[in-house]
Structure 1
Amino acid sequence: MKLTVVGGGSTYTPELIDGFARMRELLPIEELWLVDTDPERLRLVGGMSERMFRAAGHSGRIVATQDLVAGVSDADAVLIQLRVGGQAARHGDETFPHECGCIGQETTGAGGFAKALRTVPVVLRVAETVRAHAKPDAWIVDFTNPVGIVTRALLQEGHRAVGLCNVAIGFQRRFASLLGVDHTAITLGHVGLNHLTWERAAYVTDASGTHDALPALLAADLDQLAEEIELPAPLISMLGSVPSYYLRYYYAHDEVLREQLGAPTRAEAVQEVERALLDLYADPSVDTKPDALAKRGGAFYSEAAVDLIASLTSNRRDTQIVNLRNDGTLPFLPDDHVIEVPAVVGTDGLTALPVEPLPADIAGLISHVAGYERLALDAAVHGGRGRVVRALLAHPLVGQYDKAEKLTDLLLARNREHLAWAR
């Protein structure tokens, strides 16, 4: 198998390499190509990746290149993990909304929209190269945020694509730890849009059969779970489900904004972590995943990626939580919208499992954000200031015309170099 990682110079990449090495029986990689536009990062991350494979006894060949065509040629699968504009652009996403009294975040709100505008055109260009040069049945696995919008962009253009996020696998591991069972025994009732999801069940299979352990978890570990996602325990009890951390931007917007105004941005923190990681990757004696990589984020990303790619290429037909077309799963959304739910994964594609009807508040918020996402993708593909204003106005974290107008001016000023139509 030839697997290609576009954005392979990311400091995330050794997390992937660690998973590929540990789970080589599940995903037998013969060639792993790392593609990136930054030659220095490629050199450091490529060297680190090569040492990790050799230390783990993996026989696969690693190639680092700036040549996208060579990187994706004859690939069986292509994983995309891009950050257009780097951490500097992320810092902008996390700060310019503050001028309008809105939260600054890289995947939701005005900041997340800015990232979508920068990212979608680049990912679509990469995907066209994959279509032209990879194997005809090659899969594109998107880990590039905002995953839901980017995945819909790919599917809209007819690409064989699926989106991946590590939120669900994180909850699976956390619930397993609290319940004292192996994570493979747990199946989540995970539903929503990317970074707008709720865990509505935690099905545990044991000798006595399958049962939903979430009510017991909420009874025994409510305060601990509430602390971990930084939301009030009474809210979780009322919902009867566990929201992802990203729901905090909606359920506790003003509190989050106050915190953000008094603290460094996540981008600034990540820049420090990345500098330390690149120094470690430059050390020829380092040949295992550094502990410091945990500070970079993306926990369990490698395991989720290995599981997904293995099922897409070997037809395991197991159940995984992915971003895919709705096709009636959530009846209040258009069929072509992208949702994040459990699905059966095989070489012939993905089939979402049925979802129990959602309460009105959750369905309403999903519908509201989905409307924004559709307008956001339209703006990312076609450009135009008017489309930007309309998408921002539609976002529940903005929702006021004067704010949408001002945010548009701020967004364009910060991102003009990345938006061909706005120059």
Structure 2
Amino acid sequence: MKLAVVGGGSTYTPELIDGFARLRDTLPIEELVLVDPAADRLELVSGLARRIFAKQDHAGKITTTTDIDAGVADADAVLLQLRVGGQAARNQDETWPLECGCVGQETTGAGGLAKALRTVPVVLDIAERVRRTNPDAWIIDFTNPVGIVTRALLQAGHKAVGLCNVAIGFQRKFARLLEVEPGQVHLDHVGLNHLSWELGVRLGGPDGENVLPKLLAEHGDAIADDLRMDRRIVDRLGVVPSYYLRYFYAHDEVVRELGTKPSRAAEVAAMEKELLEMYGDPALDEKPELLAKRGGAFYSEAAVDLAASLLGDGGSPVQVVNTYNKGTLPFLPDDAVIEVQARVGRDGATPLAVPALDPLYAGLIANVTAYEDLALEAALRGGRDRVFKALLAHPLIGQFDYAEGLTDRLIAHNREHLAWA
């Protein structure tokens, strides 16, 4: 089995490598290719990756290349984890929206749109290269904004599934609180990527006992603190929202907070510098503790599970993924991309049935889906007017003057990445 990781020079990669090494019985990789245009980062990351494999007695071969076509040739699956423009572009996404009084964040709002505009054309080019080189390969997208990027891939006819670590993070957290094995915890996870809710937490499987009320009663403070939300929000909803819902439920508070401290991108850039220095240490043969602060917790376990299910029978039959709606949420088009529990196998992902949603959730999902439609149109076709319409449609913006100002700022800060600008 051969896997390729595009964006393999990322400081995330050792987390992925650690999972591949530990879970080799689930996903028996014979060759892993790390693909990245940054040869210097590739050297540091791949050196640590080989040492991790060696320490854990993994017999797989790790190779590197800056050539996408060569890297994805003959791969059974290609994982995408790239960041167009790097942390510098992310820093802009997180700062210039604040000038208009709107949240600055890399996956939602104006910053999220900027990332989509930079990313979708690049990902589609990579996917076309995969299709020309190896049309049978599965594409697993971890590149944000995952929902929009996955829809672009599926709409273009690629064999693609989107992946996020939010759901597996909740699963692991709830398992610890309940003192059970993670595999015993099934989430009633519903929504879009970075716009989702845990409507139930079931023990033993999809039809198991819903212990969410017990979790909220006994651990509500800890759950709310982890979400960085007021406990009253969680109690009033009676469900657990993704922490990204904080940008919606406490938007103005978050904007004030973000205006008083360095951006998350600045923090991550400093962290990445330190991590790369660590990766260059020939004595280091495991992922460092600092990596846990970088984000992406449990990404490796989720990636292994998904790849194993798509390529064989090693993964869990039901997983939370991003895939076509196909009537699952009846108020959305069939070709909208949703994030729900799905049955995953060699033929891809099929969403499981979802009970009728409260309008409180369905309304916001429909609104953000409409924004994502317009965002994808802007990413594919370009043009100031399309960018403006997407911003105006976003529920975190929604005002004419805000959308006008944000459109000008977005284009000015991303001109080098926009072929049409």
- Assess same fold via TM > 0.5: yes
The aligned residue for residue 294 of structure 1 is 292
Residue-by-residue CA offset, 1:256-311 (whole Å, 9 max, x unaligned): 00110001100000011101100011111111111111111000000000000000
**Separation in 2, partners of 1:98, 1:236:** 27
Quote how far apart the aligned CAs of 1:327 are: 0.5
Residue-by-residue CA offset, 1:57-80 (whole Å, 9 max, x unaligned): 111111110011110001000000
The aligned residue for residue 69 of structure 1 is 69
The aligned residue for residue 81 of structure 2 is 81
Please say if residues 305 and 316 of structure 2, whose CA atoms lie closer than 8 Å, have aligned partners that are also in contact: no
The aligned residue for residue 60 of structure 1 is 60
The aligned residue for residue 356 of structure 2 is 357
- Structure 2 residue matching 1:99: 3-state secondary structure: helix
The aligned residue for residue 253 of structure 1 is 251
Q: Letter of the aligned partner of 1:324 in structure 2?
A: T
Quote how far apart the aligned CAs of 1:137 are: 2.2
The aligned residue for residue 125 of structure 1 is 125
**Separation in 1, partners of 2:222, 2:295:** 21
Do residues 47 (structure 1) and 47 (structure 2) align?
Answer: yes
Quote how far apart the aligned CAs of 1:239 are: 1.3
The aligned residue for residue 28 of structure 1 is 28
Do residues 319 (structure 1) and 303 (structure 2) align?
Answer: no
Q: Letter of the aligned partner of 2:161 in structure 1?
A: V
Q: Letter of the aligned partner of 1:83 in structure 2?
A: R
**Separation in 2, partners of 1:59, 1:221:** 43
- Structure 1 residue matching 2:58: 3-state secondary structure: coil
**Separation in 1, partners of 2:222, 2:45:** 37
- Uncovered stretches (5+) of structure 2, i.e. residues with no partner: none
Quote how far apart the aligned CAs of 1:210 are: 2.3
The aligned residue for residue 201 of structure 1 is 200
**Separation in 1, partners of 2:366, 2:70:** 41
Root-mean-square deviation over aligned CA pairs: 1.0
Q: Which residue of 279, 299, 303 maps to 1:305?
A: 303
- Uncovered stretches (5+) of structure 1, i.e. residues with no partner: none
The aligned residue for residue 221 of structure 1 is 219
- Structure 2 residue matching 1:32: 3-state secondary structure: strand
**Separation in 2, partners of 1:82, 1:288:** 23
Residue-by-residue CA offset, 1:131-154 (whole Å, 9 max, x unaligned): 0112x3210000000000000000
Residue-by-residue CA offset, 1:300-330 (whole Å, 9 max, x unaligned): 0000000000000004561000000001000
Q: TM-score, normalised by structure 1?
A: 0.98
Q: Residues 111-150 of structure 1: matches in 2 within 5 Å?
A: 111-134=111-134, 136-150=135-149
**Separation in 2, partners of 1:336, 1:210:** 30
Q: Letter of the aligned partner of 1:141 in structure 2?
A: I
Please say if residues 161 and 348 of structure 2, whose CA atoms lie closer than 8 Å, have aligned partners that are also in contact: no
Do residues 264 (structure 1) and 274 (structure 2) align?
Answer: no
Quote how far apart the aligned CAs of 1:108 are: 0.1
Residue-by-residue CA offset, 1:112-133 (whole Å, 9 max, x unaligned): 0000000000000000000011
Give the stretch that moved more between structures: 230-239 or 292-301.
Answer: 230-239
- Structure 1 residue matching 2:204: 3-state secondary structure: strand
- Structure 2 residue matching 1:284: 3-state secondary structure: coil
The aligned residue for residue 107 of structure 2 is 107
Residue-by-residue CA offset, 1:42-89 (whole Å, 9 max, x unaligned): 111111111111111111111110011110001000000010000000
Please say if residues 317 and 346 of structure 1, whose CA atoms lie closer than 8 Å, have aligned partners that are also in contact: no
**Separation in 1, partners of 2:226, 2:15:** 23
- Structure 2 residue matching 1:70: 3-state secondary structure: helix
Percent of pairs identical after alignment?
64
Give the stretch that moved more between structures: 223-232 or 180-189.
Answer: 223-232
**Separation in 2, partners of 1:370, 1:213:** 30
- Structure 1 residue matching 2:341: 3-state secondary structure: strand
Q: TM-score, normalised by structure 2?
A: 0.98
Quote how far apart the aligned CAs of 1:168 are: 0.2
Please say if residues 327 and 336 of structure 1, whose CA atoms lie closer than 8 Å, have aligned partners that are also in contact: yes
**Separation in 1, partners of 2:175, 2:323:** 26
**Separation in 2, partners of 1:225, 1:274:** 28
- Structure 2 residue matching 1:321: 3-state secondary structure: strand
The aligned residue for residue 372 of structure 1 is 371
The aligned residue for residue 408 of structure 2 is 409
Count of paired positions: 419
**Separation in 2, partners of 1:143, 1:41:** 19
**Hey, which bits of structure 1, 4+ residues long, moved more than 2 A?**
none
The aligned residue for residue 333 of structure 1 is 332
